[in-house]
Amino acid sequence: MTDAEAIRRSREDAELFRPVFERHYDPIWRYLRRRLGADLADDLASETFVLAFRARRRYEPRGESALPWLYGIAANLVARHHRSETRRLRAYAALGALPADELDTESLLGRLAAAERGRSLAEALAALRRADRETLLLSAIGGLTHEQVGEALGVAAGTVAARLHRMRPALVAAMTSTSMGALS
Amino acid sequence: MTDYLCQLRNELRLDEPLSAPEAARDRAYARLEALMATKVGAGHRVPRRRAALGLALLIAVLIGVFAIAWTTVQPFGLHLFSGSHGPRISETAREAFALEPRSPTGTIDLDTIEPAGSFTLPQGQVTVYVARTRTGVGWATVYETGSGRVVTGCSTRLSPEFLPFSSSGCTPRDTLPGVSEISGLAEPPVASVTLTFEDGQKLLLPLHHGVFVYLQGGERCERGHRPALLVARTAEGEELGRTEGPFDC
């Protein structure tokens, strides 16, 4: 049974929503863990599926997989933390050190801290607009295609491509200072 | 994938495996399962027609007016429970806590649910349950009427700096007219929380995992009898915090 079919049938038999949870809990949790760290990942992953279940009547499948739709719900939850994420990125870019409560090596900030020149990347990420950052990180962390990111964020695939293209110079510059010549 | 995205993934080592903890997954599924077991999950559609909503609102207002009038002549009969003493926690109340919509960091810790008190309304006896959030700086209440109907009570989240003592007032007017809730957190070194009324009477409020709850209704809504002062003290009697009223229904 595909996700689309499971969600459609779960409108009458709620139990049929279970396969959607089983298939997609892990990637959603991983995305949230990378974005916001361990403390919030558990709660937000749970919240994502509760919201998805409540919204299942409004779900309009674009493909067989509901994963982009679920990423979209998760991205909306992450958006509530946009300002604090920006603040943390800027603080790290400026100081080059993480406070004790940010030492989560799996989170985005932890990964940046472990990278060779994470500070320049942190600065570049902090400077992104919310929509751009969501687009970039759904692509990079979630591994979604342009079409899937578009489905998640409710924009056209062309918009996703345009956003990624627009962000390229700043990100490339930040990474070039990390590993000279890697992109040449 | 775009070239620089691959570079970004490599830079941040995003391809390294990362597994969700079983406990988190189990908790998430338990929450979803509780939702599935409710009417929302069972596939019942919520009526959306405007006329039906209007009629429902009218009925609710009429019931509210009637209930307020009735509570002025009917004893409120408040009884506060200590610790976990009190009626058994019903499955409906537990589900209501599990489904309590709130900010993500505020998920309710279901192990902390305790009966806080009961009182009487025209609809029958109402039992109030209280529980803390998993992050520990928030709490929520759920009200259950004798007919098994559960309504969301109040929920509050605090910044840790408000500890060891804080309080808040809340009126679940929409669902329980004529009732007001005074609740808060009291962490060590606070050992007791006392409520003093305008008529001079005092009441020691039981603590439920550090949360105190008082339900104000009946004659305690009348001028001269309302709750007037909350005081938190250490075991030695030293005052650590206070909230001054009077509190209105």
Residue A136: pLDDT over 90? yes
Reported ipTM: the value is 0.83
Chain A hits for B36, Cβ within 8 Å: 14-15, 17, 53
Chain B residues inside the 8 Å CB shell of A141: 14
Element containing residue A22 per DSSP (H, E):
helix A18-36
Cβ of A17 within 8 Å of Cβ of B5? The answer is: no
Weakest mean pLDDT among A154-158, B77-81, B178-182 = B178-182
Question: What is the pLDDT confidence band of residue B136, given thresholds at 50, 70 and 90?
Answer: low
Q: Do B18 and A143 touch (CB under 8 A)?
A: no
**Chain-centroid distance, C-alpha B99:** 12
Residue A85 has pLDDT above 70, yes or no: yes
- Look-up of token digits 């990624």: A164
Q: With an 8 Å Cβ cutoff, are A182 and B7 in contact?
A: yes
Specify the range with the lowest mean pLDDT, choosing from B150-159, B163-172, B221-230.
Answer: B150-159
pLDDT, mean over chain B: 80
Counting every residue, how long is chain B? 249
Q: Given CB atoms, is B36 within the 8 Å cutoff of chain A?
A: yes
Share of chain B above pLDDT 70, in %: 80
Contacts of B97 in chain A (CB under 8 A): none
Q: pLDDT value at position A128? A: 93
What b/e string do you get for B183-196 counting C-beta neighbours within 10 Å, with b at 16 or more? Answer: bbbbbeebebbbbb
- Quick one: average pLDDT of B136-149? 78
With CB atoms and an 8 Å threshold, state whether A39 touches B105: yes
Amino acid type, B153? G
**A-to-B residue pairs, Cβ atoms closer than 8 angstroms:** 113
Digit-coded pLDDT (tens) for B19-71: 889 999 999 999 998 888 875 555 545 455 666 777 778 887 777 665 655 55
Per-residue pLDDT of B85-134, as tens digits, reads: 778 888 888 887 877 655 444 678 888 899 999 988 777 888 899 988 87
Spell out which residues of chain B touch residue A180, defining contact as CB-CB under 8 Å: none
B230 CA to chain A: closest CA distance, Å? 34
Quote the CA–CA distance of A76 and A55 in Å, as a whole number: 14
Contact B86, B30 (CB under 8 A): no
Choose the closest CB to B104 out of A43, A108, A143: A43
- pLDDT category of residue A114 using cuts at 50, 70 and 90: confident
A99: closest CA of chain B, how far (Å): 18
Give how far B18 is from chain A: nearest CA, Å.
7
Residues of A in contact with B21 (CB under 8 A): 42
Main-chain dihedrals φ then ψ at residue A2, nearest 5 degrees: -75, 165
Chain A residue with the nearest C-alpha to that of B41 = A14
- Average pLDDT rounded to a whole number, residues B217-229: 90
Question: Cα distance from A55 to chain B (closest Cα, Å)?
Answer: 11
Nearest CB to A46: which of B4, B5, B31? B31
Q: Is B25 on the interface with A (CB under 8 A)?
A: yes
Q: Please name the member of A17, A41, A178 whose beta carbon is closest to the beta carbon of B36.
A: A17
pLDDT bracket for residue A177 (50, 70, 90):
low
- The more confidently predicted of residues B70 and B141 is B141
pLDDT attached to residue A164: 95
Contact B119, B76 (CB under 8 A): yes
Cis peptide before B246 (omega within 30 of 0): yes
